[in-house]
Amino acid sequence: MLSVRHVVTFAAVLAVAALAPATQASEGVSFKLGTLDSQTDYGILDQVEEETVTVTTSEPMGESGFWYGLPGYEDFVMPVGMPFYFEDPFITSDLRLIYLCHSISNNSPVGGGEVMVAAVQFRMALTDRLAVLITKDGYSWLNSDVFEDGDSDGWNDSAVGLKYAIYSDPDEQFLFTGGMRAEFQHGSRDALQGGGSSEISPFLSFAKGWDKLHFLGTLSGRFPTNRNKGNQSIVWNMHLDYALTETFYPLVEVHGIHWISNGDRVPVDTDYLDIGSFGSTDVSGRDAFSAGLGFRWEITENISLGTTFEIPLESKDQHMLKHRLTINTVISF
């Protein structure tokens, strides 16, 4: 026979379960419930005692949806290098301050020099699965033999996009995301931007964690809307970090670009890597590889500083990379 105690307990369990959306498994929720221990023949309560009831909800604890994004991946950190194309799979709202200092070998096909880039990226979660992106903007300063007076500067092109979390399993620490970016060529030619062709860039991104070890990867395409003014290419990025402490993550990243078409703008056999596109005439079939060592440090709960020092994994004279310093600061909301 059901007692009042059983009825009250069962009703409480149903109420909690009804309020929890059925999406992903998470930890149980414990709460204390006053239950009826006994009663008189006339239904008058004699004694009330406390009992702890544990209910397993189906949604990760914490807020989700608009602005808050997709919870369950708080132990991961964001990638650092090649920030215009290395898009992480996480659905978040944050501001990222980007600084690149890129050195070019004197024996490269375009001569030596240095490029400095400052940019601000913005991401906003529209739902727990969908986010809007602003991934490229800012300003560039160049010192290179290709300019008559040696120095030049100007505004960068801009890129916006969307990404969607296709598959999410926080218990297994696995997330798979797809998205699309569009880059608009309205930057300054003095900064080797504004090349005459906009760009469409679809991408796939994933994250996998094993306790303190985290692996991220992204595969992107770069497809100019005018193939004569830009070079088509495939870009891939990998990131591996380890939580040495609760706030400090040493990391290594590897980046690659494979060009699949030629343009007709600049008669060289290299391209402007991930910063822009020359529309080079003799780059199809070539590859560029680089690796960066660094760390990400979580200064506060909402601010993290990442940096890498990147070098080519081939002769530094083959492409436009001698070495690069990247500083990537994430301010999470």
In a shared domain, residues 39 and 113 = no
In a domain, 155, yes or no: yes
83, part of any domain: no
According to DSSP, residue 157 is labeled P
- Among 257, 267, 150, 142, smallest CA distance to 192 is for 142
Whether the per-residue pLDDT at 22 is higher than 80: the answer is no
108 & 9 share domain: no
- Mean pLDDT of all residues in 236-264: 97
Cβ neighbours, 10 Å, residue 301: 9
Residue 89: inside a domain: no
Q: Is residue 65 part of a domain?
A: no
Residues 254 and 159 in one domain: yes
Domain with residue 211: its CATH number is: 2.40.160.40
* pLDDT surpasses 80 at 132: yes
Q: Do 141 and 218 sit in the same domain of this protein?
A: yes
Domain count, the chain: 2
End-to-end CA distance of the chain: 52
pLDDT above 70: residue 40: no
Distance separating alpha carbons of residues 293 and 305, to the nearest angstrom: 14
pLDDT at 145 over 90: no
Burial 77-114 (b: 16+ CB within 10 A, else e): bbbbbbbbbbbbbbbbbbbbebbbebbbbeebbbebbe
The pLDDT value given to residue 27: 43
pTM above 0.75, yes or no: yes
Residue-range definition of the domain harbouring residue 24? 4-56
- Which is it for strands 113-125 and 94-104: parallel, antiparallel or unpaired? antiparallel
Contacts for 15 with CB less than 8 Å, ≥ 6 apart: none
Q: Report whether pLDDT(59) > 90.
A: no
Q: Are 120 and 137 in contact (CB under 8 A)?
A: yes
CA–CA distance from 142 to each of 89, 107, 192 (Å)?
A: 32, 17, 9
Instruction: Summarize pLDDT for 79-131 with one digit per residue, the tens.
Output: 999 999 999 999 999 999 999 999 998 888 777 899 999 999 999 999 999 99
Quote the pLDDT of residue 129. Answer: 97
Q: 322 lies in a domain?
A: yes
In a domain, 174, yes or no: yes
| 143 and 251 within one domain | yes
CA atoms within 13 A on the CB side of 110: 26
Give pLDDT, residue 62: 55
DSSP 8-class letter at 324: E
